Amino acid sequence: MKKKSCDSRQNRESWQDWKSFPREWKFYELAAGIHKKAQEFRVASLLNVIAKEGMDMYETFQWGNSSDALTIDKVLVKFEERCVPVRNETYERYVFVKTVCWSVGTVVDRLWHHQSGCLVS
């Protein structure tokens, strides 16, 4: 499995790539037989796959219950919260609408790229 990073300071494509990671991880767990192992083993495997950046990020997470740090579903939720940036829809609408001299091709291209970042699929 290819190592992943979710540095939220990187471009939109980077975090959109990260959005598919939980699904890829589930398939990897099934294929490797990791899903049958203890929660601690599953978390350790995940941290190995996401490399040093992921481990550094993991160590900054705040846990309500210390056992949550070793539960794969709760760890994936924490990464999701950290890796998917907060959207400012008002600003995005402003940027999208502020230019009025677009060609039809540009409008279609902008709509296509804008919808790829939409919260509703």
- In this prediction the pTM is 0.63
- Which pLDDT belongs to residue 115? 62
**Residue ranges of the alpha helices (H) in the chain?**
12-19, 21-32, 39-49, 51-58, 72-83, 89-97, 104-115
Question: Is the Cβ–Cβ distance between 87 and 59 less than 8 Å?
Answer: no
Tokens standing for residue 6: 């979710």
What is the SS3 assignment for 26-57?
HHHHHHHCHHHCCHHHHHHHHHHHCHHHHHHH
pLDDT tens, per residue, the chain with 121 residues: 554 555 544 445 556 667 788 899 999 999 999 999 999 999 999 999 988 888 898 999 999 898 999 999 999 999 888 877 777 788 777 777 776 556 767 777 777 776 665 554 4
